[in-house]
Homo-oligomer: A and B are copies of this chain.
Amino acid sequence: MKAHLISIGTELTTGQVVDTNAAWLAARLTERGVEVAGKTTLPDELHPLVENVKRIAAECDLVILSGGLGPTDDDLTRSALAEALGVALVTDAASLENLRRFFRVRNREMAPSNAVQAMRPEGSRPIENPCGTAPGIHVRVGSAEVFALPGVPREMRRMFEADVAPRIAASGGGRSVVSMSLHTFGCTESELGERVKDLMKRGRNPTVGTTATEGVISLRLHAAGESPEAAGALLDRDVAELEKRLGRRIFGRDGETMEAVVARLLIEQAATVATAESCTGGLVAKRLTDVPGSSAYLVQGVVSYANEAKTRLLGVPAALIETHGAVSREVAEAMAVGARTRAGTDYALSLTGIAGPSGGTKEKPVGLVYLGLAYEGGVKVSEIRCGRHQPRDEIRARAATAALNLLRLKLLVRS
């Protein structure tokens, strides 16, 4: 099965926006054994879109368009498909009703221009959009299946998974490819590379590659086989080997986040947590509450940004801050203990550090963060140094992940 992706939008051809949709779709198709023969990006203009749809549909089995389904005059995908097919646009009654309901439940007036989003080329099938106003369109152009999805990444992804992916699977295109990602924390990309060098050799099956984001190094595995079972067996062998070599450095798999893993462990152990943050400004609490059901374990969080806030909200003695500085082991420890005592939780995490870009000194450079973990009967402080040339958001993200990882390792000892 051969596919071609078409991304539509003048914001893409003028370079204002980097096209992440096409890369995401290409990865999903490749995983499913579909060959992506090419990707085309076009501006919001009718004629080139019509011509490209006709030409590309004649060369491929599967065409996925993204973008151009909004309510404004520069959204031309509907018209282009109709023109490429030589048919009229018709209003889809069910889509129109969905649109009206979308606005009704939000207590908002539907602008007249929105009604155009319920139109589709005659003979096409609408694709439901569960989180936006623009339904997608599925239509056959010559011998190619053509799917038009919105450009909003969240909507496009959900509609691909719910509607397009099952149809590709049902058509049985492609060899079986199974994939997995393993996420690690606590070693660098090159340290990891040294440990698993032999598995990363080119031409091996499975392929093993690494990507790094904010201190998390992920291993991406793709195994190919004649059947899903054959590919899965190859994949399982490599995963077992990697788990043996990397141990608790691996914290999750397939998009699982550090906070999701910590949340699962906290819930399994019916344990509660509080946070006390300075340099991360609420990021640890925010990530702990990214997980649905977080009220089961997060009791409270404190962003003790000013020194007085550390004293007022956590009981850190002003003299301690005076003596050691707000960014110190001692203050991190007192913050964690104060947070745990005041919230009455099983655990408390604290962070104090220098996120930059200014505020660093020779002894305490930008990127230095102290992490505290208080638990029944003790408190532990770790120090991380992210490197003083790292940007503020990178330092904050790494520090938050490192703090959550401290708690994870503690919970693993208990489990």
Contact = CB atoms under 8 A, between A and B. Distances in A.
A124 interface: no
Contacts of A295: 305-306
A40 B393 CA distance: 31
A44 B209 contact: yes
B300 A289 contact: no
Report which residue of A37, A73, A289 has the largest number of chain B beta carbons within 10 angstroms of its beta carbon: A289
A385 B104 CA distance: 11
A190 B71 contact: yes
Contacts of A286: 280-283, 286
Given A220-B16, A281-B289, A43 B48 contact: no
A323 interface: no
A125 B308 CA distance: 51
A382 interface: no
Contacts of A23: 12, 15, 17-19
Interface stretch (A78-86, A105-113, A164-172): A105-113
B312 A342 contact: yes
A72 B300 contact: no
Interface string A46-87: 001000100000000000000000111110000000000000
Interface string A244-263: 00000000000000000000
A300 B302 contact: yes
A127 interface: no
A9 to B, nearest CB: 8
Contact of A36 (B15, B25, B202): B15
Given A13-B39, A106-B387, A190-B113, A294 B305 contact: yes
A320 interface: no
A280 B282 CA distance: 10
User: What is the count of identical protomers in the complex?
Assistant: 2
A48 B391 CA distance: 35
Nearest to A152: B212
Interface residues of A, number: 116
Contacts of A197: 73
Interface in A20-52: 20, 22-30, 36-44, 48, 52
Given A38-B41, A303-B282, A313-B313, A357 B108 contact: no
A410 interface: no
Contacts of A300: 302-306, 309, 312-313
Contact of A70 (B107, B189, B343): B189
Contacts of A70: 189, 210
Given A113-B190, A131-B390, A131-B391, A285 B303 contact: yes
Contacts of A220: 11, 16
A102 B388 CA distance: 10
A386 B102 CA distance: 11
Given A38-B40, A302-B313, A385-B106, A73 B13 contact: no
A324 interface: no
Contact of A294 (B17, B26, B281): B281
Contacts of A13: 26, 30, 36-39
Contacts of A91: none
Contacts of A202: 73-74
A28 to B, nearest CB: 7
A355 to B, nearest CB: 8
19 contacts: A13-B36, A14-B222, A15-B36, A18-B23, A38-B41, A38-B43, A38-B48, A39-B39, A131-B391, A154-B394, A277-B282, A281-B301, A285-B303, A285-B305, A292-B392, A300-B304, A301-B302, A301-B305, A303-B303
